[in-house]
Amino acid sequence: MKYSPAKIERKWQRYWESKQIHLAKDKGKDNFMLLTEFPYPSGNLHVGHWYAFALPDILARYLKMNGHNVMYPIGFDAFGLPAENAAIQRNINPRDWTEQNIKYMTKQLKNMGTLLDWSREVSTINPNYYKWTQWMFLKFYEKGLVYRDKTFVNWCPRDKTVLANEQVVNGCCDRCGTEVVQKEITQWMFRTTAYADQLIDDIEGLDWPETTKLAQRNWIGRSEGAIIQFLIPNSKLLIPVFTTRADTLFGATYLVLAPEHPMLTKLTSDENLDKASRYLEEVKKKTELERLHIDKSKTGVDTGGYVVNPINNEKIPVWVADYVLGHYGTGAIMAVPAHDERDKEFAEKFNLPVSNAPLEDAQKIVEKLKEKGLAEFKKNYKLHDWVLSRQRYWGVPIPMIRCEKCGYVAVPEKELPVELPYLEDFKPSDDGRSPLAKAKDWLKVKCPECGRDAERETDTMDTFVDSSWYFLRYTDPKNKKEFASKKKMAEWLPVPMYIGGAEHNTMHLLYSRFFTKALHDLGYLDFNEPFTARRNHGIILGPDGQKMSKSRGNVVDPDVEVKKYGADTIRMYLAFMGPYDQGGPWNPDGIQGVFRFLTRVWNFISEPEEPKTADKEADRIINKATKEMGDDIKNLKFNTGVSGLMKLLNALEDKWLTKKQYGTFLKLLAPFAPHIAEELWWTVLKNKKSIHLEKWPKHDEALLAEELIELVIQINGIKRDVLKVTKGLSEEEVKSIALSNESVKKYLVGKEIKKFVYVKDRLTNIVI
RNA sequence: GGGUACGUGGCGGAACUGGUAUACGCGCACGCUUCAGGAGCGUGUGGGAGCAAUCCCGUGAGAGUUCAAAUCUCUCCGUACCCACCA
């Protein structure tokens, strides 16, 4: 019979489902939650999803065969702007659109033949889920970790919503590409900065990629310096500046305020008023994009005002310039042209003085000024508090009530969830208010405190809130009393391995860490880091090496490939194409090679009769492969794992094996190509229980030690011969073998051996 | 401009702690099989010299350390990703 995946794959997927081999038991031993980032229900599975879910499944199956009680959970991160925009385009409700996508993608995901545990499925749009998202919001609110503040925010004029700093890419909305403008509104914020130090200090202990750790450190951006006060003459007003270089204070020759600085009007002299206000108008007109890209040269104007440098009492002029950022530090800097490139450029352009005053000890300077109340040590962070409000329909309603008399009042816990009403007209409105304001019945509510007529908050939450705690829910997805029971969380968490995309290095991973730390401090978690180990996977590009996109026409449809080659081939091909953290272009020829391999496997395991005695050589080969295969999978080196299987088949193909030997081969293959392994396990080897419930073969260390090794003999570092010898030869033994070797002897005639290098079980180098 | 990672055949890539460079696969060439093949099987496949055994060169370029360098150090060139006036 020919190998035709279409005939066997669905059959086994159904069988596994009926036997529930993919379900994680709660009271198992040796629990292991293998976490992958839950997908966004965009409507269609792409090859990237296979990369993200079918490859970690190799590890999941391997761990299961090694006796772990594996949970490989799945869910959907289903709120968010893209669904809303797609629904607007198609003129259907986002809920209908999203639910339909989830249904379709679930079907597609099941084609992969994974251990994904659908019984624990979590969906962020399910009121039983977002009830707890709201609950956490309220707990954080009680603890002062949620607050409202009027801030300048990034406003996308097209999506008509506020964006987090992280969602602004090069001054444009990362979703639609429109230029972002600055707008001042009052927003709900998470006080992420309260955890800035912990978030940066705890990175060290994590088993994460160095790049991810570094990205987080840079994002939090802690710098240690000082605040120094500059007095405005003839007043009692002080202007604080932040500096990491207090030692350069003697060289400060002028001071620069950000255009947003509140003291600006006070400082500006009458004669400079016109010029200054014209400058501010100009800056306002500049979009973020221009500020960053087009207009890189420094601009600014003299305010005509002065301040006093506290270290030497020199009067220095005050300027305003937009190269100073209003939102970092104090929004003002002391300019030291002698030591700072930016200040130097500005000073040269506007003819400001440069002083080469000597540097002094920063510590001493600050301490000295501190006595007079003119300085203090200060840590500063780039990290901002997290603006979580969105003026959009498709998100979790923020569970607050606005009462004329009492102000903002929390929705009582027993009234959760505040359900998102089904709206006919959910389009964003031009006034910037959330579409929920149109749901009149939903909006009206009594104030929980005074009982008067009040209104619900109409903003919804950023979807990053939903995904900041989803992994907790996997441990106890149906719990109605708590977000998850402490007991169950203790069995599974923290997550021992989290595999996902490098694009989440900062936002998602940082937010999840913030949530975990906050919940820990509130007493709900026993751990304060969510993910013990993290590994990133790469991105699969189109055959042309470009990012897959409909407009480029280079999209590979996994459904089409499955029809052509079957799921096992796709899984193995993706595993084989290169290092998992690297990704790379899809190669239509490369996949042929994997299909050929599986066809050869199919023809290989077909011997009806067993030999009387097992082939010793085959045992040795299998034993070695078993060890290497296990190491490869554990280290997520799937590419060399596949090549190991290929080598194994090459070595065994013309041998006559026992049923046990064939069985071992199939067990090694099973995590990679679960369907064909199962089929051959039953139909050819006549087993009556799933291969995926078998134990991973144990390799024999003693047999490994018997392996012959290839001893390299070098003369002056150049290879002259390679000998097969037993392991563990001593230096003396190797020396006599080497010196009596014919192909070596001829080089040694009449030469003196200066040095004899011996590397055990590897090589010897004769230096002459 | 800054940071990080990386640079190995025609291509994807392998190489443990510095110790046989190019495993495995693709492609290509030749042969076998077949009515036929864009199927299957076999052999070969970094460059150069040689009938051959064999020898020399070779991991972006150049230097250095070492008995020994794809791997470590320095300079330069190039690519990818991230950040982007953070005082």
Question: In Å, what is the separation between the CA of A742 and the C1' of B29?
Answer: 36
Q: Which of A327, A390, A389, A382 is nearest to A193 (CA)?
A: A382
Q: In the prediction, which pLDDT does A170 show?
A: 63
Residue A753 belongs to a domain with what CATH number?
3.10.20.590
CA A525 to the chain's CA centroid: 22
Residue nearest to nucleotide B14 (CA to C1'): A640
Name the nucleotide with the smallest C1'–CA separation from A577.
B12
Please give the ipTM for the structure prediction: 0.92
Q: Which of A26, A116, A108 is nearest to A75 (CA)?
A: A116
Q: In the prediction, which pLDDT does A129 show?
A: 97
Q: Hey, what amino acid is at A56? A: P
Provide residues 576-595 of A with CB closer than 7 Å to any strand B atom: 576-579, 582, 584-585, 587, 589-590, 592-594
Residue A294 pLDDT class (50, 70, 90 cuts): very low
Same domain, A250 and A353: yes
Residue A759 pLDDT class (50, 70, 90 cuts): confident
Residue with tokens 């979703």: A175
Residue A744 pLDDT class (50, 70, 90 cuts): confident
Q: Which of A734, A159, A112, A72 is nearest to A434 (CA)?
A: A159
Average pLDDT on A306-320 reads 93
Question: In Å, what is the separation between the CA of A762 and the C1' of B59?
Answer: 21
Q: Is A711 exposed, middle or buried (0-12, 13-18, 19+ CB in 10 A)?
A: buried
- A192-206, A249-263, A733-747: least confidently modelled range: A733-747
Exposure of A51 in the CB half-sphere (CA atoms within 13 A): 26
Provide residues 274-293 of A with CB closer than 7 Å to any strand B atom: 291-292
Asked if A630 and A699 touch (Cβ cutoff 8 Å), the reply is yes
What is the secondary structure of A177-218 as a DSSP string? -PBPEEEEEEEEEE-GGGGHHHHHHGGGG-B--HHHHHHHHH
Q: What is the C-alpha to C-alpha distance for residues A697 and A350, in angstroms, rounded to an integer?
A: 76
- Strand B atom within 7 Å of A2 CB: no
Same domain, A239 and A366: yes
Q: What is the C-alpha to C-alpha distance for residues A184 and A326, in angstroms, rounded to an integer?
A: 14
% of residues, chain A, pLDDT over 70: 96
Q: Which of A768, A723, A767 is nearest to A743 (CA)?
A: A723
Residue A83: count other Cβ atoms within 10 Å of its Cβ: 22
Residue A698 belongs to a domain with what CATH number?
1.10.730.10
Same domain, A243 and A344: yes
Provide residues 66-125 of A with CB closer than 7 Å to any strand B atom: none
- Strand B atom within 7 Å of A521 CB: no
- Strand B atom within 7 Å of A216 CB: no
Name the nucleotide with the smallest C1'–CA separation from A637.
B14
Sorted by sequence, the CB contacts under 8 Å of residue A99 that are 6+ apart come out as A125
Q: Which of A18, A173, A25, A8 is nearest to A491 (CA)?
A: A25
The answer to whether residue A22 is domain-embedded is no
Q: In the prediction, which pLDDT does A94 show?
A: 93
- Strand B atom within 7 Å of A717 CB: yes
Q: In the prediction, which pLDDT does A139 show?
A: 97
Residue nearest to nucleotide B84 (CA to C1'): A292
Strand B positions closer than 7 A to protein CB: 3-5, 11-16, 19-21, 23-27, 39-42, 55-57, 67-69, 81-87
Residue after which a domain boundary falls, among A422, A443, A463: A463
- Strand B atom within 7 Å of A705 CB: no
- A225-234, A493-502, A622-631, A725-734: least confidently modelled range: A725-734
Same domain, A442 and A371: no
Residue after which a domain boundary falls, among A314, A347, A380: A380
Strands A172-173 and A300-308: unpaired
Same domain, A376 and A238: yes
- Strand B atom within 7 Å of A243 CB: yes
- Strand B atom within 7 Å of A172 CB: no
Name the nucleotide with the smallest C1'–CA separation from A766.
B67
Q: What is the pLDDT of residues A127-167, one digit of tens each?
A: 999 999 999 999 999 999 999 988 777 777 787 776 666 56
The answer to whether residue A654 is domain-embedded is yes
Q: In the prediction, which pLDDT does A743 show?
A: 76
The answer to whether residue A689 is domain-embedded is yes
Name the nucleotide with the smallest C1'–CA separation from A241.
B87
Residue A687 pLDDT class (50, 70, 90 cuts): very high
The answer to whether residue A587 is domain-embedded is no
Q: Is the pLDDT of residue A290 over 60?
A: no
- Strand B atom within 7 Å of A502 CB: yes
Same domain, A364 and A397: no
Residue A288 pLDDT class (50, 70, 90 cuts): low
Same domain, A699 and A720: no
Q: In the prediction, which pLDDT does A166 show?
A: 56
Q: Is the pLDDT of residue A89 over 90?
A: no
Q: Is the pLDDT of residue A597 over 70?
A: yes
Provide residues 596-615 of A with CB closer than 7 Å to any strand B atom: 596-597, 599-600
CA A550 to the chain's CA centroid: 25
Report the range out of A271-285, A288-302, A404-418, A600-614 with the highest average pLDDT: A404-418
Sorted by sequence, the CB contacts under 8 Å of residue A238 that are 6+ apart come out as A229, A230, A231, A232, A374
Instruction: State the DSSP H helix or E strand holding residue A437, giving kind and residue range, or none if neither.
Output: none
Same domain, A235 and A376: yes
Report the range out of A128-132, A196-200, A380-384, A717-721 with the highest average pLDDT: A128-132
Average pLDDT on A312-320 reads 93
The answer to whether residue A206 is domain-embedded is no
Q: What is the number of domains present in chain A?
A: 4
Residues in chain A: 768
Same domain, A426 and A315: no
- Which is higher by pLDDT, A317 or A292? A317
- Which is higher by pLDDT, A400 or A173? A400
Over its C-alpha atoms, chain A yields an Rg (Å, rounded) of 33
Long-range pairs of A343-351 with CB within 8 A, sequence gap ≥ 24: A343/A256, A345/A297, A345/A298, A346/A256, A346/A298, A346/A300, A346/A319, A346/A321, A347/A253, A347/A254, A349/A297, A349/A298, A350/A300, A350/A302, A350/A319
Provide residues 624-683 of A with CB closer than 7 Å to any strand B atom: 637, 639-640, 642-643, 646-647, 650, 653
- A316-320, A661-665, A710-714: least confidently modelled range: A710-714
CA A490 to the chain's CA centroid: 24
The answer to whether residue A201 is domain-embedded is no
Exposure of A132 in the CB half-sphere (CA atoms within 13 A): 27
Same domain, A712 and A654: no
Q: What is the pLDDT of residues A495-519, one digit of tens each?
A: 999 999 888 888 899 999 999 999 9
The tokens describing A204, both together, are 């060290």
Q: What is the C-alpha to C-alpha distance for residues A686 and A678, in angstroms, rounded to an integer?
A: 11
The tokens describing A142, both together, are 């009680």
Task: Name A156's bridge partners.
Answer: A161
CA A333 to the chain's CA centroid: 35
Q: What is the C-alpha to C-alpha distance for residues A250 and A356, in angstroms, rounded to an integer?
A: 8
In the predicted model, what is the mean pLDDT of chain A?
A: 89
Same domain, A231 and A357: yes
- Strand B atom within 7 Å of A167 CB: no
Q: What is the pLDDT of residues A240-264, one digit of tens each?
A: 999 988 989 999 999 999 988 989 9
Domain residue limits at A266: 223-380
Average pLDDT on A540-566 reads 86
Q: Hey, what amino acid is at A228? A: I
Q: In the prediction, which pLDDT does A17 show?
A: 94
Same domain, A716 and A606: no
Q: In the prediction, which pLDDT does A433 show?
A: 78
Residue after which a domain boundary falls, among A380, A404, A428: A380
Residue A729 pLDDT class (50, 70, 90 cuts): confident
- Strand B atom within 7 Å of A743 CB: yes
Q: Is the pLDDT of residue A287 over 60?
A: no
Q: What is the C-alpha to C-alpha distance for residues A669 and A288, in angstroms, rounded to an integer?
A: 54
Residue A82 pLDDT class (50, 70, 90 cuts): confident
The answer to whether residue A578 is domain-embedded is no
Q: What is the pLDDT of residues A317-363, one digit of tens each?
A: 999 998 898 888 899 999 998 888 888 889 988 999 998 888 888 88
Strands A497-501 and A534-537: parallel
Asked if A569 and A597 touch (Cβ cutoff 8 Å), the reply is no
Name the nucleotide with the smallest C1'–CA separation from A243.
B87
Q: What is the C-alpha to C-alpha distance for residues A143 and A147, in angstroms, rounded to an integer?
A: 10
Q: What is the C-alpha to C-alpha distance for residues A155 and A187, in angstroms, rounded to an integer?
A: 12
pTM: 0.92
Task: Name A161's bridge partners.
Answer: A156
Q: What is the pLDDT of residues A476-495, one digit of tens each?
A: 999 999 999 999 999 999 99
Question: In Å, what is the separation between the CA of A498 and the C1' of B4?
Answer: 22
Q: Is the pLDDT of residue A305 over 60?
A: yes
Residue A260 belongs to a domain with what CATH number?
3.90.740.10
The answer to whether residue A32 is domain-embedded is no
Q: In the prediction, which pLDDT does A104 show?
A: 95
